[in-house]
A and B are shown apart, each in its own frame.
Chain A
Amino acid sequence: MAAFSISAMQEPRRALPYVAPALALLAFVILIPAVYVLWLSFQQSTFGRAATFVGFANYAKILADPYFWRALGNTVIVVLVVVHVEVVLGLAMAVLFAAGLPFRKLLIAAVLAPYAVSEVGAVVMWRTLFDPDTGFMTRVLTGIGLPPLEWSVVPSHGLALVALLSIWLHLPFTFIILYAARLAIPKDLYEAAEIDGASAWQSFRRVTLPLLMPAILVAMLFRYIFAYRLFSEVWLLTQGGPARSTEVVAVYLYLEAFRYNDFGAASATGWLMVVTSLLLAAFYLRRLYREMFARAD
């Protein structure tokens, strides 16, 4: 009797009731809509009207639109800057914290604080800091003889502020991943390096960095995928302006769908967004796999 139950436990069908709710949620909210978007991207579709098949016309329209290319360029630049600055800062902080600090728990709590801040809250903070007339950072910049950030007028300044506030919001995530990986490196390796006469820089270069590589790639992959979705920061800071110059792909998609009511073009943008983000991440994914196989050998 008992033996029968245990073998029933191995019967995969019995897992279904447990996994079904989660899969249903994903299917109805993400999978089916995503497939529907693919279908929609080949249709001429306006809200409230029947769709008609138009082949690749939507893709052709988007790819011929200079505003799309500008949005794509802005996105790629911001994502590259954000992800790399985050990894460098996160790595430096992980090394600093691993070297032993007093009040470490309290300091980690402080570092985690931006994780709790909403995008809207962060926009309030950073636009106040960089307010052209009264901002604290504007005063600091002019105080040391630098020009202030004219983020509402100059497109590159607007994107710089967007990047800065994205880094601020997401650095806690990158830091935690790298810090946890750094703590997992056994102490003896550093002791051995010290006995061999390695300097602090050498032991970072030869011990820390290679052993952190998998964690660095994981953190970067996550951040590539998530940074690519950038919407709220841009929408709330510049609305893509002036003159559509600071748009990113998600803002472009939103405008196509909800302002110009062109759901077909917006859907095509959606799939282009997925494909381009995967292409950008693919390079790192490949290195990640190689790294994993190298470790498995």
Chain B
Amino acid sequence: MPTDPAFTPSGLLRLLGKAVAVALVLAWSLGPIALIVSAAFTPERDIFATGVAWRPTFENFVALWQRWGDFFTGLANSFIVTVGATLLAVLTSTLAGFGYSRWRSRFLSGSVFAMIALRLLPPIVTTLPLFPIVNALGLNDTYAVLIILYAAFFVSLGTMVMRTFIDQIPRELDEAAMMDGASQAQIFRRVILPLSAQGMVAVAIFVIVYAWNEFLFAFIFTTKNAKTAPLVLSEMIGSLEGVEWGVLFAATTVQLLPILAFVVLCQRHLIEGLTAGATKG
């Protein structure tokens, strides 16, 4: 019976090395977040002072509420846009995932290839022609334009993820339902939809995180009515002369915490989706 490796000198050294590595990983991943969140709960005058005891306070959040009504409108806009984009992306991806999983043809494999190829195009390139078109249609500064853009940039990844998940549903189930006289639409609704819920969750997580945080499209296509929270945040940084740091940190915290909690809660689905999307897409 060999001695427990943890108690030999080299075992202890290994353990120590591991502990240091874990500490570094934690400091790197959580340090910047912890800094901002704790500063948000610190009185403005103490934030950059050294050697002052921490006196937690909500005053920055109160000031944010009183002076930056815009920010809370932005949060509401972000919420609406996120929900809209998620519904649109999940619906179109699931339908397409079913189509690509159950049928084969030259057109279908060609269009899958086109879908993957289109992911290579940088979003900023498509803003150039979209900008005048969106203006002409009167869609500038509306929820609709952001919802459509966000959904479009995730529908190709979403379709690949959904196809992977739907491929795992045995075709025998489709055939059995068909024997019972179900139409194709019924098979999709009664057989495929309930069994592919996991994939839909994975796709939804991607879109939710993306839509909640997106900056570029919001920056180009919204000015006032549909302005999202990240855009209002960037304006708070932009007022370079009189940045109210406490308020800025409070706003950053309010924008971050809900989505952070969501990512932590959905960890397992997020990892599944990332691996399915990356290896099959």
Q: Is B39 an interface residue (CB 8 A)?
A: yes
Q: Is B191 an interface residue (CB 8 A)?
A: no
The answer to whether A105 touches B104, judged by C-beta atoms less than 8 angstroms apart, is: no
Q: Is A88 an interface residue (CB 8 A)?
A: no
Interface 9-mer from B57-65, B193-201, B209-217 = B209-217
Looking at chain B's contact residues, the main secondary structure is helix
The answer to whether B115 touches A176, judged by C-beta atoms less than 8 angstroms apart, is: no
CA distance A168 to B28 in the complex (A): 8
Q: Is B3 an interface residue (CB 8 A)?
A: no
Interface 1/0 per residue, B26-47 and A, CB below 8 Å: 1011101101100100000000
Interface 9-mer from A31-39, A63-71, A155-163 = A31-39
Given contacts A113-B30, A113-B263, A134-B48, contact A12 B104 (CB under 8 A): yes
Q: Is B223 an interface residue (CB 8 A)?
A: no
Interface 1/0 per residue, B163-188 and A, CB below 8 Å: 00000000000110011000010001
Chain A's nearest CB lies how many Å from the CB of B255? 6
Chain A's nearest CB lies how many Å from the CB of B229? 8
Q: Is B92 an interface residue (CB 8 A)?
A: yes
Residue of B nearest to A47 (CB): B132
Interface 1/0 per residue, B239-281 and A, CB below 8 Å: 0000001001100100110011011100100110011001100
Chain B's nearest CB lies how many Å from the CB of A254? 7
Q: Tell me the count of chain B residues lying within 8 A, CB to CB, of chain A.
A: 94
CA distance A254 to B220 in the complex (A): 9
The answer to whether B230 touches A119, judged by C-beta atoms less than 8 angstroms apart, is: yes
CA distance A88 to B102 in the complex (A): 40
Q: Is B1 an interface residue (CB 8 A)?
A: no
Query: Given the complex, which residues of A lie within 8 Å of B209, measured CB to CB?
Result: 115-116
The answer to whether A177 touches B275, judged by C-beta atoms less than 8 angstroms apart, is: yes
Interface 1/0 per residue, A245-271 and B, CB below 8 Å: 000001001100110000100110011
Give the one of B93, B130, B262 with max A CB within 10 A. B130
CA distance A9 to B108 in the complex (A): 15
Q: Is A76 an interface residue (CB 8 A)?
A: no
Given contacts A12-B107, A19-B99, A177-B278, contact A225 B120 (CB under 8 A): yes
The answer to whether B103 touches A12, judged by C-beta atoms less than 8 angstroms apart, is: yes
Q: Is A107 an interface residue (CB 8 A)?
A: yes
Query: Given the complex, which residues of A lie within 8 Å of B48, measured CB to CB?
Result: 131, 133-134
Interface 1/0 per residue, A36-49 and B, CB below 8 Å: 11001000000100
The answer to whether A30 touches B267, judged by C-beta atoms less than 8 angstroms apart, is: no
Closest 3 pairs between A and B when the two form their complex, measured CB to CB: A18-B99, A12-B105, A118-B213
Residues of chain A whose beta carbon lies under 8 Å from any beta carbon of chain B: 2, 5-6, 9-12, 14-19, 21-23, 25-26, 28-34, 36-37, 40, 47, 92-93, 96, 99, 101, 105, 107-129, 131, 133-134, 136, 168, 173, 176-177, 180, 215, 218-219, 222, 225, 228-229, 231-232, 235-236, 250, 253-254, 257-258, 263, 266-267, 270-271, 273-274, 277-278
20 contacts across the A-B interface (CB closer than 8 A): A12-B108, A19-B96, A19-B99, A19-B100, A22-B159, A25-B148, A29-B148, A30-B121, A34-B121, A37-B125, A37-B129, A40-B129, A117-B33, A118-B215, A134-B48, A176-B271, A231-B216, A232-B219, A253-B128, A257-B131
